[in-house]
Chains A and B, each alone.
Chain A
Amino acid sequence: MFLQLVANGLVTGAVLAIAAVGVSLIYGILGLVNFAYGDVMTFGAFVAVLCNGRLGMGMVVAAVLAMVSTAILSLSLEGVLWRPLRARRAGFMSLFLASIGLALVLRQAIFLVAGPQPRSYDVDPYKVYVLGSVRLSGAQAIAVTVAAAAIVAVALVLGTTSVGRTMRAVADDRALAAVAGIDTGRVIVLTWILCGLIAGLAGVLAALVQSSFDPNFGFSLLLPVFAAVLLGGIGSASGALFGGLLLGLATEVSTWAGFHGGVNPIYKPVVAFAVLIAVLLVRPQGLLGRARTL
Protein backbone atom coordinates (compact mmCIF):
# COMPACT_ATOMS: atom_id res chain seq x y z
CA MET A 1 0.00 0.00 0.00
CA PHE A 2 2.78 2.37 0.93
CA LEU A 3 4.73 1.61 -2.25
CA GLN A 4 1.57 2.11 -4.30
CA LEU A 5 1.16 5.57 -2.76
CA VAL A 6 4.80 6.38 -3.51
CA ALA A 7 4.24 5.32 -7.13
CA ASN A 8 1.08 7.46 -7.39
CA GLY A 9 3.01 10.32 -5.82
CA LEU A 10 5.79 10.00 -8.39
CA VAL A 11 3.23 10.12 -11.22
CA THR A 12 1.49 13.22 -9.82
CA GLY A 13 4.83 14.72 -8.92
CA ALA A 14 6.39 14.19 -12.34
CA VAL A 15 3.47 15.91 -14.06
CA LEU A 16 3.52 18.77 -11.54
CA ALA A 17 7.28 19.08 -11.94
CA ILE A 18 7.22 19.40 -15.71
CA ALA A 19 4.48 22.06 -15.51
CA ALA A 20 6.33 23.88 -12.74
CA VAL A 21 9.52 24.15 -14.81
CA GLY A 22 7.61 26.15 -17.42
CA VAL A 23 6.16 28.53 -14.83
CA SER A 24 9.55 28.94 -13.21
CA LEU A 25 11.38 29.67 -16.49
CA ILE A 26 8.85 32.33 -17.43
CA TYR A 27 9.22 33.91 -14.02
CA GLY A 28 13.00 33.79 -14.07
CA ILE A 29 13.43 35.23 -17.54
CA LEU A 30 10.47 37.59 -17.82
CA GLY A 31 9.69 38.41 -14.20
CA LEU A 32 6.14 37.28 -14.88
CA VAL A 33 4.00 35.22 -12.51
CA ASN A 34 1.93 33.74 -15.29
CA PHE A 35 -1.56 33.10 -14.04
CA ALA A 36 -2.67 32.12 -17.54
CA TYR A 37 -0.32 29.12 -17.59
CA GLY A 38 -2.97 26.67 -16.35
CA ASP A 39 -5.32 27.74 -19.10
CA VAL A 40 -2.58 27.40 -21.71
CA MET A 41 -2.23 23.82 -20.43
CA THR A 42 -5.99 23.38 -20.84
CA PHE A 43 -5.68 24.69 -24.39
CA GLY A 44 -3.06 22.04 -25.12
CA ALA A 45 -5.17 19.29 -23.59
CA PHE A 46 -8.15 20.31 -25.73
CA VAL A 47 -6.15 20.51 -28.95
CA ALA A 48 -5.06 16.94 -28.22
CA VAL A 49 -8.68 15.92 -27.60
CA LEU A 50 -9.66 17.39 -30.94
CA CYS A 51 -6.86 15.55 -32.76
CA ASN A 52 -7.24 12.31 -30.82
CA GLY A 53 -11.02 12.20 -30.72
CA ARG A 54 -12.63 13.90 -33.67
CA LEU A 55 -9.73 13.62 -36.11
CA GLY A 56 -8.87 10.10 -34.96
CA MET A 57 -5.10 10.61 -34.70
CA GLY A 58 -2.90 8.56 -32.41
CA MET A 59 -2.12 9.92 -28.97
CA VAL A 60 1.52 10.65 -29.80
CA VAL A 61 0.69 12.73 -32.87
CA ALA A 62 -2.06 14.47 -30.92
CA ALA A 63 0.33 15.36 -28.10
CA VAL A 64 2.95 16.73 -30.49
CA LEU A 65 0.35 18.84 -32.30
CA ALA A 66 -0.90 20.08 -28.92
CA MET A 67 2.63 21.11 -27.95
CA VAL A 68 3.18 22.93 -31.22
CA SER A 69 -0.11 24.77 -30.89
CA THR A 70 0.57 25.88 -27.29
CA ALA A 71 3.99 27.12 -28.42
CA ILE A 72 2.34 29.12 -31.21
CA LEU A 73 -0.25 30.45 -28.75
CA SER A 74 2.49 31.50 -26.31
CA LEU A 75 4.44 33.26 -29.05
CA SER A 76 1.38 35.14 -30.30
CA LEU A 77 0.58 36.26 -26.76
CA GLU A 78 4.14 37.52 -26.43
CA GLY A 79 3.57 39.60 -29.55
CA VAL A 80 0.17 41.07 -28.72
CA LEU A 81 0.37 41.35 -24.94
CA TRP A 82 3.67 40.81 -23.13
CA ARG A 83 5.95 42.74 -25.44
CA PRO A 84 3.72 45.84 -25.44
CA LEU A 85 3.47 45.61 -21.64
CA ARG A 86 7.25 45.43 -21.30
CA ALA A 87 7.59 48.37 -23.68
CA ARG A 88 5.41 50.35 -21.26
CA ARG A 89 7.66 49.33 -18.38
CA ALA A 90 4.84 47.50 -16.62
CA GLY A 91 5.86 46.30 -13.17
CA PHE A 92 5.42 42.96 -11.47
CA MET A 93 1.93 43.83 -10.28
CA SER A 94 0.66 44.93 -13.72
CA LEU A 95 2.00 41.80 -15.37
CA PHE A 96 0.38 39.60 -12.72
CA LEU A 97 -3.01 41.27 -13.16
CA ALA A 98 -2.75 41.15 -16.95
CA SER A 99 -2.09 37.41 -16.75
CA ILE A 100 -5.21 37.03 -14.58
CA GLY A 101 -7.22 38.83 -17.26
CA LEU A 102 -5.65 36.65 -19.93
CA ALA A 103 -6.46 33.50 -17.92
CA LEU A 104 -10.14 34.53 -17.87
CA VAL A 105 -10.18 35.21 -21.60
CA LEU A 106 -8.50 31.91 -22.50
CA ARG A 107 -10.66 29.79 -20.20
CA GLN A 108 -13.91 31.35 -21.35
CA ALA A 109 -12.84 31.02 -24.98
CA ILE A 110 -12.22 27.30 -24.43
CA PHE A 111 -15.63 26.99 -22.73
CA LEU A 112 -17.21 28.80 -25.64
CA VAL A 113 -15.63 26.68 -28.35
CA ALA A 114 -15.45 23.27 -26.67
CA GLY A 115 -18.41 23.44 -24.29
CA PRO A 116 -18.47 22.55 -20.59
CA GLN A 117 -18.84 18.78 -20.89
CA PRO A 118 -16.04 16.55 -19.53
CA ARG A 119 -13.69 15.01 -22.09
CA SER A 120 -11.30 12.11 -22.14
CA TYR A 121 -8.72 10.65 -24.50
CA ASP A 122 -9.26 7.55 -26.52
CA VAL A 123 -6.88 5.27 -24.59
CA ASP A 124 -7.39 1.78 -23.21
CA PRO A 125 -8.64 2.30 -19.64
CA TYR A 126 -8.16 -1.33 -18.60
CA LYS A 127 -4.48 -1.66 -19.33
CA VAL A 128 -2.56 -2.15 -16.09
CA TYR A 129 1.16 -2.56 -15.50
CA VAL A 130 2.14 -4.54 -12.42
CA LEU A 131 5.58 -4.06 -10.86
CA GLY A 132 5.83 -6.12 -7.67
CA SER A 133 3.12 -4.79 -5.38
CA VAL A 134 2.62 -1.63 -7.44
CA ARG A 135 -0.05 -1.31 -10.11
CA LEU A 136 0.03 1.53 -12.61
CA SER A 137 -2.67 2.26 -15.16
CA GLY A 138 -1.59 2.64 -18.76
CA ALA A 139 -2.15 6.40 -18.58
CA GLN A 140 -0.09 6.69 -15.39
CA ALA A 141 2.76 4.65 -16.86
CA ILE A 142 2.85 6.77 -20.03
CA ALA A 143 2.63 10.01 -18.07
CA VAL A 144 5.45 9.20 -15.68
CA THR A 145 7.74 7.92 -18.46
CA VAL A 146 7.13 10.85 -20.78
CA ALA A 147 7.40 13.39 -17.96
CA ALA A 148 10.69 11.88 -16.80
CA ALA A 149 12.05 11.96 -20.36
CA ALA A 150 10.89 15.56 -20.75
CA ILE A 151 12.53 16.53 -17.47
CA VAL A 152 15.84 15.08 -18.65
CA ALA A 153 15.46 16.82 -22.02
CA VAL A 154 14.75 20.20 -20.40
CA ALA A 155 17.68 19.75 -18.01
CA LEU A 156 19.96 18.97 -20.96
CA VAL A 157 18.72 21.98 -22.94
CA LEU A 158 19.22 24.32 -20.00
CA GLY A 159 22.45 22.77 -18.79
CA THR A 160 24.46 22.01 -21.91
CA THR A 161 23.25 23.95 -24.96
CA SER A 162 24.23 27.54 -25.71
CA VAL A 163 20.53 28.45 -25.80
CA GLY A 164 20.15 27.11 -22.27
CA ARG A 165 23.21 29.00 -21.08
CA THR A 166 21.95 32.30 -22.48
CA MET A 167 18.55 31.65 -20.90
CA ARG A 168 20.10 31.12 -17.51
CA ALA A 169 22.24 34.20 -17.96
CA VAL A 170 19.19 36.34 -18.74
CA ALA A 171 17.36 34.84 -15.75
CA ASP A 172 20.28 35.76 -13.51
CA ASP A 173 20.54 39.37 -14.59
CA ARG A 174 18.91 40.64 -17.74
CA ALA A 175 20.88 43.90 -17.91
CA LEU A 176 24.21 42.16 -17.39
CA ALA A 177 23.35 39.55 -20.03
CA ALA A 178 22.45 42.29 -22.51
CA VAL A 179 25.75 44.07 -21.83
CA ALA A 180 27.59 40.80 -22.40
CA GLY A 181 26.17 40.72 -25.93
CA ILE A 182 23.27 38.33 -25.46
CA ASP A 183 20.29 39.14 -27.66
CA THR A 184 17.67 39.21 -24.87
CA GLY A 185 14.81 39.61 -27.34
CA ARG A 186 15.78 36.32 -28.98
CA VAL A 187 16.12 34.61 -25.60
CA ILE A 188 12.62 35.76 -24.65
CA VAL A 189 11.19 34.34 -27.89
CA LEU A 190 13.00 31.05 -27.30
CA THR A 191 11.71 30.98 -23.72
CA TRP A 192 8.13 31.33 -24.88
CA ILE A 193 8.63 28.54 -27.43
CA LEU A 194 10.19 26.22 -24.84
CA CYS A 195 7.62 27.05 -22.16
CA GLY A 196 4.80 26.72 -24.67
CA LEU A 197 6.00 23.23 -25.60
CA ILE A 198 6.29 22.34 -21.92
CA ALA A 199 2.82 23.70 -21.13
CA GLY A 200 1.26 21.72 -23.95
CA LEU A 201 2.97 18.50 -22.86
CA ALA A 202 2.10 19.08 -19.19
CA GLY A 203 -1.52 19.76 -20.14
CA VAL A 204 -1.83 16.55 -22.15
CA LEU A 205 -0.11 14.45 -19.46
CA ALA A 206 -2.17 15.93 -16.63
CA ALA A 207 -5.35 15.35 -18.62
CA LEU A 208 -4.26 11.77 -19.34
CA VAL A 209 -3.68 11.06 -15.64
CA GLN A 210 -6.98 12.65 -14.62
CA SER A 211 -8.73 10.61 -17.35
CA SER A 212 -11.66 13.05 -17.47
CA PHE A 213 -11.29 16.83 -17.65
CA ASP A 214 -13.25 19.98 -18.47
CA PRO A 215 -12.12 23.51 -19.40
CA ASN A 216 -11.58 24.36 -15.71
CA PHE A 217 -9.02 21.63 -15.16
CA GLY A 218 -5.90 23.64 -16.00
CA PHE A 219 -6.89 26.40 -13.63
CA SER A 220 -7.51 23.91 -10.84
CA LEU A 221 -4.00 22.51 -11.44
CA LEU A 222 -2.46 25.95 -11.39
CA LEU A 223 -2.31 26.35 -7.62
CA PRO A 224 -0.51 23.04 -6.98
CA VAL A 225 1.88 23.98 -9.80
CA PHE A 226 2.52 27.36 -8.21
CA ALA A 227 2.98 25.64 -4.86
CA ALA A 228 5.65 23.43 -6.46
CA VAL A 229 7.36 26.49 -7.93
CA LEU A 230 7.37 28.32 -4.61
CA LEU A 231 8.50 25.25 -2.74
CA GLY A 232 11.54 24.92 -4.99
CA GLY A 233 12.18 28.65 -5.09
CA ILE A 234 10.76 30.97 -7.77
CA GLY A 235 12.91 31.21 -10.88
CA SER A 236 14.95 28.08 -10.18
CA ALA A 237 14.24 25.37 -12.77
CA SER A 238 15.83 22.57 -10.77
CA GLY A 239 13.96 23.80 -7.69
CA ALA A 240 10.69 23.56 -9.61
CA LEU A 241 11.41 19.96 -10.59
CA PHE A 242 12.33 19.08 -7.05
CA GLY A 243 9.33 20.95 -5.60
CA GLY A 244 6.92 19.21 -7.96
CA LEU A 245 8.17 15.73 -7.10
CA LEU A 246 8.21 16.49 -3.38
CA LEU A 247 4.66 17.87 -3.41
CA GLY A 248 3.36 14.94 -5.44
CA LEU A 249 4.91 12.48 -3.00
CA ALA A 250 3.83 14.42 0.09
CA THR A 251 0.19 14.66 -0.97
CA GLU A 252 -0.11 10.98 -1.88
CA VAL A 253 1.89 9.55 1.00
CA SER A 254 -0.02 11.68 3.53
CA THR A 255 -3.05 9.47 2.94
CA TRP A 256 -1.11 6.34 4.00
CA ALA A 257 -2.97 4.56 6.81
CA GLY A 258 0.30 3.77 8.60
CA PHE A 259 0.80 7.50 9.11
CA HIS A 260 -1.50 8.12 12.11
CA GLY A 261 -4.40 6.66 10.11
CA GLY A 262 -3.62 8.93 7.17
CA VAL A 263 -5.15 12.17 5.96
CA ASN A 264 -8.61 12.07 4.44
CA PRO A 265 -7.95 11.99 0.65
CA ILE A 266 -10.39 14.88 0.17
CA TYR A 267 -7.79 17.08 1.82
CA LYS A 268 -4.88 16.21 -0.47
CA PRO A 269 -4.70 19.74 -1.97
CA VAL A 270 -4.65 21.20 1.53
CA VAL A 271 -1.68 18.98 2.40
CA ALA A 272 0.25 20.46 -0.52
CA PHE A 273 -0.26 23.97 0.82
CA ALA A 274 0.50 22.95 4.38
CA VAL A 275 3.85 21.53 3.21
CA LEU A 276 4.50 24.72 1.27
CA ILE A 277 3.75 27.00 4.21
CA ALA A 278 5.81 24.87 6.59
CA VAL A 279 8.81 25.09 4.23
CA LEU A 280 8.41 28.81 3.67
CA LEU A 281 8.39 29.39 7.43
CA VAL A 282 11.89 27.94 7.59
CA ARG A 283 13.17 29.06 4.20
CA PRO A 284 11.18 32.07 2.93
CA GLN A 285 12.96 31.86 -0.46
CA GLY A 286 11.98 28.21 -1.07
CA LEU A 287 14.20 25.15 -0.99
CA LEU A 288 16.61 26.01 -3.81
CA GLY A 289 15.79 29.70 -4.24
CA ARG A 290 18.32 32.39 -3.54
CA ALA A 291 17.60 34.87 -0.78
CA ARG A 292 17.16 38.23 -2.48
CA THR A 293 14.69 41.03 -2.32
CA LEU A 294 12.43 41.90 -5.18
Chain B
Amino acid sequence: MSTIASGEFWAFVGVVAGIYTLLGLGIQLEFGFAGLLNFGHVAFMAIGAYTMAIVVVKLGWSMWIGAPLAILTAAAAGVAVGLPTLRLRADYFAIVTIAFSEIVRYVATNEERLTGGTQGTINLAGAGEASSYNGQWERFQGWLQSTLHLGSKDVTMLIVVWVAALAGCTALWAAGRTPWGRVLRGIREDEDAVASLGKNVFAFRLQALAIGSGLAGLAGCFYAWQFSFFSPNDFAPLLTFFAWMIVILGGLGRFFAVPVGAVVFGVLFAGTRFFDFAPFSWFDSAERAYLRLMVIGLAIIGLILFRPQGLLGRREELVLE
Protein backbone atom coordinates (compact mmCIF):
# COMPACT_ATOMS: atom_id res chain seq x y z
CA MET B 1 0.00 0.00 0.00
CA SER B 2 1.46 3.26 -1.08
CA THR B 3 1.32 6.32 1.08
CA ILE B 4 -0.29 9.60 0.18
CA ALA B 5 3.12 11.26 -0.19
CA SER B 6 4.56 8.69 -2.59
CA GLY B 7 5.59 10.25 -5.90
CA GLU B 8 5.39 6.89 -7.60
CA PHE B 9 1.74 6.53 -6.65
CA TRP B 10 0.83 9.96 -7.97
CA ALA B 11 2.77 9.32 -11.19
CA PHE B 12 0.58 6.24 -11.58
CA VAL B 13 -2.54 8.35 -10.96
CA GLY B 14 -1.27 10.76 -13.61
CA VAL B 15 -0.79 7.98 -16.16
CA VAL B 16 -4.31 6.71 -15.57
CA ALA B 17 -5.67 10.26 -15.88
CA GLY B 18 -3.86 10.55 -19.23
CA ILE B 19 -5.47 7.32 -20.45
CA TYR B 20 -8.86 8.60 -19.25
CA THR B 21 -8.21 11.81 -21.18
CA LEU B 22 -7.78 9.88 -24.43
CA LEU B 23 -10.94 7.94 -23.64
CA GLY B 24 -12.86 11.09 -22.73
CA LEU B 25 -11.76 12.96 -25.87
CA GLY B 26 -13.66 10.44 -27.98
CA ILE B 27 -16.82 11.02 -25.95
CA GLN B 28 -16.32 14.79 -26.14
CA LEU B 29 -16.10 14.58 -29.94
CA GLU B 30 -19.00 12.17 -30.27
CA PHE B 31 -21.38 13.79 -27.80
CA GLY B 32 -20.08 17.31 -27.20
CA PHE B 33 -19.82 17.87 -30.95
CA ALA B 34 -21.81 15.31 -32.91
CA GLY B 35 -24.52 14.73 -30.28
CA LEU B 36 -24.02 10.95 -30.16
CA LEU B 37 -24.80 9.14 -26.91
CA ASN B 38 -22.17 6.41 -27.11
CA PHE B 39 -22.41 4.43 -23.88
CA GLY B 40 -20.31 1.56 -25.20
CA HIS B 41 -17.11 3.51 -25.58
CA VAL B 42 -15.06 1.06 -23.52
CA ALA B 43 -15.63 -1.62 -26.20
CA PHE B 44 -13.35 0.23 -28.60
CA MET B 45 -10.69 0.52 -25.93
CA ALA B 46 -10.95 -3.24 -25.40
CA ILE B 47 -10.72 -3.86 -29.14
CA GLY B 48 -7.60 -1.69 -29.34
CA ALA B 49 -5.88 -3.36 -26.40
CA TYR B 50 -6.70 -6.88 -27.56
CA THR B 51 -5.74 -6.22 -31.17
CA MET B 52 -2.34 -4.92 -30.13
CA ALA B 53 -1.69 -7.80 -27.75
CA ILE B 54 -2.89 -10.47 -30.19
CA VAL B 55 -0.89 -9.08 -33.12
CA VAL B 56 2.27 -8.97 -31.01
CA VAL B 57 1.90 -12.33 -29.23
CA LYS B 58 0.15 -14.50 -31.81
CA LEU B 59 1.51 -13.09 -35.05
CA GLY B 60 4.85 -12.09 -33.58
CA TRP B 61 4.74 -8.71 -35.32
CA SER B 62 6.41 -5.59 -34.09
CA MET B 63 4.59 -3.42 -31.57
CA TRP B 64 5.11 -0.53 -33.98
CA ILE B 65 2.81 -2.29 -36.42
CA GLY B 66 0.52 -3.66 -33.72
CA ALA B 67 -0.39 -0.31 -32.16
CA PRO B 68 -1.41 1.49 -35.40
CA LEU B 69 -3.28 -1.64 -36.40
CA ALA B 70 -5.07 -1.57 -33.04
CA ILE B 71 -6.16 2.04 -33.60
CA LEU B 72 -7.35 1.24 -37.13
CA THR B 73 -9.24 -1.84 -35.96
CA ALA B 74 -10.98 0.15 -33.22
CA ALA B 75 -11.92 2.86 -35.73
CA ALA B 76 -13.18 0.23 -38.18
CA ALA B 77 -15.25 -1.32 -35.37
CA GLY B 78 -16.72 2.15 -34.77
CA VAL B 79 -17.76 2.32 -38.42
CA ALA B 80 -19.15 -1.21 -38.32
CA VAL B 81 -21.26 -0.39 -35.25
CA GLY B 82 -22.28 3.00 -36.62
CA LEU B 83 -23.46 1.87 -40.04
CA PRO B 84 -26.56 0.02 -38.81
CA THR B 85 -27.19 2.00 -35.61
CA LEU B 86 -26.54 5.69 -36.32
CA ARG B 87 -29.99 6.25 -37.72
CA LEU B 88 -31.56 5.10 -34.46
CA ARG B 89 -32.97 7.65 -32.06
CA ALA B 90 -30.58 8.87 -29.35
CA ASP B 91 -32.03 6.69 -26.58
CA TYR B 92 -31.99 3.54 -28.72
CA PHE B 93 -28.44 4.29 -29.83
CA ALA B 94 -27.28 4.67 -26.22
CA ILE B 95 -28.61 1.28 -25.19
CA VAL B 96 -27.49 -0.53 -28.34
CA THR B 97 -23.95 0.73 -27.81
CA ILE B 98 -23.91 -0.48 -24.19
CA ALA B 99 -25.13 -3.82 -25.48
CA PHE B 100 -22.31 -3.86 -28.01
CA SER B 101 -19.71 -3.23 -25.32
CA GLU B 102 -21.09 -6.11 -23.26
CA ILE B 103 -20.99 -8.37 -26.31
CA VAL B 104 -17.32 -7.50 -26.84
CA ARG B 105 -16.56 -8.30 -23.21
CA TYR B 106 -18.55 -11.50 -23.49
CA VAL B 107 -16.71 -12.66 -26.59
CA ALA B 108 -13.36 -11.77 -25.00
CA THR B 109 -14.31 -13.81 -21.94
CA ASN B 110 -15.45 -16.89 -23.84
CA GLU B 111 -13.23 -17.08 -26.93
CA GLU B 112 -10.32 -18.38 -24.92
CA ARG B 113 -8.23 -19.38 -27.92
CA LEU B 114 -8.31 -15.87 -29.32
CA THR B 115 -8.09 -13.73 -26.19
CA GLY B 116 -6.88 -15.90 -23.34
CA GLY B 117 -10.36 -15.92 -21.77
CA THR B 118 -11.08 -14.87 -18.20
CA GLN B 119 -7.47 -15.17 -17.14
CA GLY B 120 -6.60 -12.42 -19.57
CA THR B 121 -3.67 -11.87 -21.84
CA ILE B 122 -1.22 -13.73 -19.65
CA ASN B 123 -2.91 -16.82 -21.07
CA LEU B 124 -2.75 -15.54 -24.65
CA ALA B 125 -0.12 -18.00 -25.88
CA GLY B 126 -1.99 -20.99 -24.43
CA ALA B 127 -2.01 -22.76 -21.09
CA GLY B 128 1.23 -23.11 -19.16
CA GLU B 129 3.03 -20.45 -21.14
CA ALA B 130 2.94 -16.96 -19.68
CA SER B 131 2.85 -14.57 -22.59
CA SER B 132 3.92 -10.97 -22.73
CA TYR B 133 3.36 -8.36 -25.41
CA ASN B 134 5.22 -5.45 -23.96
CA GLY B 135 8.92 -6.36 -24.19
CA GLN B 136 9.40 -3.95 -27.07
CA TRP B 137 7.50 -1.23 -25.20
CA GLU B 138 9.69 -1.70 -22.12
CA ARG B 139 12.82 -1.36 -24.24
CA PHE B 140 11.42 1.81 -25.83
CA GLN B 141 10.55 3.17 -22.39
CA GLY B 142 14.06 2.35 -21.12
CA TRP B 143 15.66 4.01 -24.11
CA LEU B 144 13.53 7.13 -23.63
CA GLN B 145 14.29 7.22 -19.93
CA SER B 146 18.07 7.15 -20.49
CA THR B 147 17.91 9.59 -23.43
CA LEU B 148 15.89 12.17 -21.50
CA HIS B 149 17.70 11.42 -18.20
CA LEU B 150 14.41 10.79 -16.40
CA GLY B 151 14.22 9.57 -12.82
CA SER B 152 11.96 6.55 -13.20
CA LYS B 153 9.92 4.46 -15.58
CA ASP B 154 6.69 5.83 -14.16
CA VAL B 155 7.72 9.37 -14.97
CA THR B 156 8.66 8.29 -18.51
CA MET B 157 5.26 6.68 -18.96
CA LEU B 158 3.60 9.78 -17.54
CA ILE B 159 5.31 11.96 -20.13
CA VAL B 160 4.57 9.65 -23.07
CA VAL B 161 0.88 9.31 -22.18
CA TRP B 162 0.38 13.01 -21.63
CA VAL B 163 2.20 13.97 -24.84
CA ALA B 164 -0.24 11.71 -26.68
CA ALA B 165 -3.24 13.02 -24.72
CA LEU B 166 -2.41 16.68 -25.23
CA ALA B 167 -1.57 16.09 -28.89
CA GLY B 168 -5.02 14.51 -29.23
CA CYS B 169 -6.63 17.52 -27.51
CA THR B 170 -4.81 19.97 -29.73
CA ALA B 171 -5.61 18.10 -32.93
CA LEU B 172 -9.31 17.87 -32.06
CA TRP B 173 -9.39 21.49 -30.92
CA ALA B 174 -7.94 22.53 -34.27
CA ALA B 175 -10.34 20.24 -36.12
CA GLY B 176 -13.22 21.74 -34.15
CA ARG B 177 -12.42 25.16 -35.60
CA THR B 178 -12.54 24.00 -39.21
CA PRO B 179 -15.74 23.94 -41.29
CA TRP B 180 -15.90 20.22 -40.46
CA GLY B 181 -16.06 20.97 -36.73
CA ARG B 182 -18.68 23.65 -37.26
CA VAL B 183 -20.89 21.20 -39.16
CA LEU B 184 -20.60 18.71 -36.27
CA ARG B 185 -21.54 21.37 -33.75
CA GLY B 186 -24.47 22.29 -35.98
CA ILE B 187 -25.61 18.66 -36.02
CA ARG B 188 -25.63 18.61 -32.25
CA GLU B 189 -27.80 21.73 -32.14
CA ASP B 190 -30.22 20.91 -34.95
CA GLU B 191 -29.58 18.03 -37.28
CA ASP B 192 -32.51 18.86 -39.56
CA ALA B 193 -31.21 22.37 -40.16
CA VAL B 194 -27.79 20.98 -41.10
CA ALA B 195 -29.33 18.36 -43.36
CA SER B 196 -31.40 21.03 -45.09
CA LEU B 197 -28.14 22.79 -46.01
CA GLY B 198 -27.14 19.72 -47.98
CA LYS B 199 -24.75 18.25 -45.42
CA ASN B 200 -24.69 14.50 -45.03
CA VAL B 201 -25.40 14.23 -41.30
CA PHE B 202 -24.92 10.47 -41.31
CA ALA B 203 -21.43 10.70 -42.85
CA PHE B 204 -20.30 13.37 -40.40
CA ARG B 205 -21.53 11.34 -37.43
CA LEU B 206 -19.85 8.22 -38.77
CA GLN B 207 -16.56 10.13 -39.06
CA ALA B 208 -16.89 11.38 -35.48
CA LEU B 209 -17.60 7.85 -34.28
CA ALA B 210 -14.61 6.44 -36.20
CA ILE B 211 -12.23 9.06 -34.78
CA GLY B 212 -13.59 8.68 -31.25
CA SER B 213 -13.26 4.90 -31.47
CA GLY B 214 -9.71 5.18 -32.81
CA LEU B 215 -8.80 7.36 -29.82
CA ALA B 216 -10.30 4.75 -27.51
CA GLY B 217 -8.15 2.16 -29.31
CA LEU B 218 -5.07 4.23 -28.54
CA ALA B 219 -6.19 4.50 -24.91
CA GLY B 220 -6.47 0.71 -24.94
CA CYS B 221 -2.86 0.35 -26.13
CA PHE B 222 -1.58 2.59 -23.35
CA TYR B 223 -3.70 0.71 -20.85
CA ALA B 224 -2.19 -2.56 -22.05
CA TRP B 225 1.38 -1.23 -21.77
CA GLN B 226 0.82 0.33 -18.38
CA PHE B 227 -0.60 -2.80 -16.76
CA SER B 228 1.50 -5.49 -18.54
CA PHE B 229 -1.54 -7.74 -18.81
CA PHE B 230 -5.28 -7.33 -18.74
CA SER B 231 -8.48 -9.37 -18.77
CA PRO B 232 -12.00 -8.85 -20.15
CA ASN B 233 -13.34 -7.53 -16.85
CA ASP B 234 -11.03 -4.53 -17.10
CA PHE B 235 -13.42 -3.30 -19.78
CA ALA B 236 -16.70 -3.34 -17.83
CA PRO B 237 -19.32 -0.65 -18.55
CA LEU B 238 -18.19 1.16 -15.41
CA LEU B 239 -15.16 2.47 -17.31
CA THR B 240 -17.43 4.05 -19.94
CA PHE B 241 -19.34 5.79 -17.15
CA PHE B 242 -16.10 7.06 -15.63
CA ALA B 243 -15.17 8.55 -19.00
CA TRP B 244 -18.60 10.19 -19.28
CA MET B 245 -18.26 11.58 -15.81
CA ILE B 246 -14.87 13.04 -16.71
CA VAL B 247 -16.31 14.75 -19.78
CA ILE B 248 -19.28 16.16 -17.86
CA LEU B 249 -17.03 17.17 -14.97
CA GLY B 250 -14.68 19.05 -17.28
CA GLY B 251 -17.45 20.60 -19.32
CA LEU B 252 -19.17 19.66 -22.55
CA GLY B 253 -18.14 21.17 -25.86
CA ARG B 254 -14.55 21.99 -24.96
CA PHE B 255 -11.71 19.59 -25.70
CA PHE B 256 -9.30 21.12 -23.21
CA ALA B 257 -11.85 20.58 -20.47
CA VAL B 258 -11.31 16.81 -20.80
CA PRO B 259 -7.77 16.67 -19.34
CA VAL B 260 -8.94 18.96 -16.51
CA GLY B 261 -11.84 16.65 -15.77
CA ALA B 262 -9.57 13.59 -15.99
CA VAL B 263 -7.04 14.99 -13.53
CA VAL B 264 -9.70 16.10 -11.06
CA PHE B 265 -11.45 12.73 -11.33
CA GLY B 266 -8.17 10.81 -11.06
CA VAL B 267 -7.08 12.69 -7.96
CA LEU B 268 -10.50 12.37 -6.32
CA PHE B 269 -10.78 8.68 -7.15
CA ALA B 270 -7.25 7.93 -5.96
CA GLY B 271 -7.72 10.24 -3.01
CA THR B 272 -10.64 8.19 -1.72
CA ARG B 273 -8.08 5.42 -1.11
CA PHE B 274 -6.79 7.49 1.77
CA PHE B 275 -10.15 7.97 3.42
CA ASP B 276 -9.11 6.41 6.71
CA PHE B 277 -10.99 8.82 8.95
CA ALA B 278 -14.51 8.34 10.36
CA PRO B 279 -16.95 7.28 9.01
CA PHE B 280 -14.66 5.40 6.61
CA SER B 281 -12.53 3.95 9.39
CA TRP B 282 -15.54 1.97 10.58
CA PHE B 283 -15.30 -0.28 7.54
CA ASP B 284 -12.75 -2.84 6.38
CA SER B 285 -10.93 -2.50 3.08
CA ALA B 286 -13.39 -4.54 0.98
CA GLU B 287 -16.26 -2.46 2.33
CA ARG B 288 -14.35 0.72 1.65
CA ALA B 289 -14.09 -0.31 -2.01
CA TYR B 290 -17.90 -0.30 -2.16
CA LEU B 291 -17.98 3.04 -0.38
CA ARG B 292 -15.58 4.55 -2.91
CA LEU B 293 -17.85 3.59 -5.81
CA MET B 294 -20.83 4.93 -3.86
CA VAL B 295 -19.02 8.22 -3.53
CA ILE B 296 -18.43 8.24 -7.30
CA GLY B 297 -22.12 7.57 -7.91
CA LEU B 298 -23.13 10.34 -5.54
CA ALA B 299 -20.63 12.66 -7.24
CA ILE B 300 -22.24 11.96 -10.64
CA ILE B 301 -25.68 12.75 -9.22
CA GLY B 302 -24.46 15.86 -7.42
CA LEU B 303 -22.72 17.15 -10.51
CA ILE B 304 -25.86 16.79 -12.61
CA LEU B 305 -28.03 18.39 -9.95
CA PHE B 306 -25.82 21.32 -9.09
CA ARG B 307 -23.39 21.99 -11.93
CA PRO B 308 -24.57 20.34 -15.15
CA GLN B 309 -22.20 22.44 -17.25
CA GLY B 310 -19.13 21.06 -15.48
CA LEU B 311 -16.07 22.97 -14.30
CA LEU B 312 -15.24 24.73 -17.57
CA GLY B 313 -18.39 24.28 -19.64
CA ARG B 314 -20.37 27.13 -21.09
CA ARG B 315 -23.93 26.90 -19.95
CA GLU B 316 -25.21 29.21 -22.66
CA GLU B 317 -23.72 27.00 -25.35
CA LEU B 318 -24.93 23.71 -24.03
CA VAL B 319 -27.60 23.04 -21.48
CA LEU B 320 -27.56 19.29 -21.03
CA GLU B 321 -30.31 17.84 -23.11
Contacts and interface: CB of A to CB of B under 8 A. Distances in A.
A92 B91 contact: yes
A97 interface: yes
A280 B92 contact: yes
B63 to A, nearest CB: 31
A240 interface: no
Contacts of A156: none
**Interface size band for B:** 35 or more
Taking each of B85, B87, B287, B297, which has the highest tally of chain A beta carbons within 10 Å of its own beta carbon? B297
A97 B91 contact: no
A40 interface: no
A94 B303 CA distance: 10
Interface in B8-54: 31, 37
Contacts of B91: 27, 33, 92, 96, 234, 294
Interface string A139-160: 0000000000000000000000
A34 to B, nearest CB: 12
Contacts of A103: 297
**Interface size band for A:** 35 or more
B224 interface: no
B92 A112 contact: no
Nearest to A85: B305
Contact of A92 (B87, B286, B296, B321): B321
B110 interface: yes
Contacts of A276: 96, 99
B95 A81 contact: no
A102 B293 CA distance: 11
B88 A270 contact: no
A50 interface: no
B87 to A, nearest CB: 6
Taking each of B84, B96, B283, B320, which has the highest tally of chain A beta carbons within 10 Å of its own beta carbon? B320
A270 B84 CA distance: 17
Interface in B238-261: 238, 241, 244-245, 248
Interface stretch (B100-108, B150-158, B165-173, B209-217): B100-108
For the complex of A and B, the 7 pairs showing the least CB-CB separation, nearest first, are: A104-B297, A91-B321, A101-B300, A105-B297, A101-B301, A108-B290, A108-B294
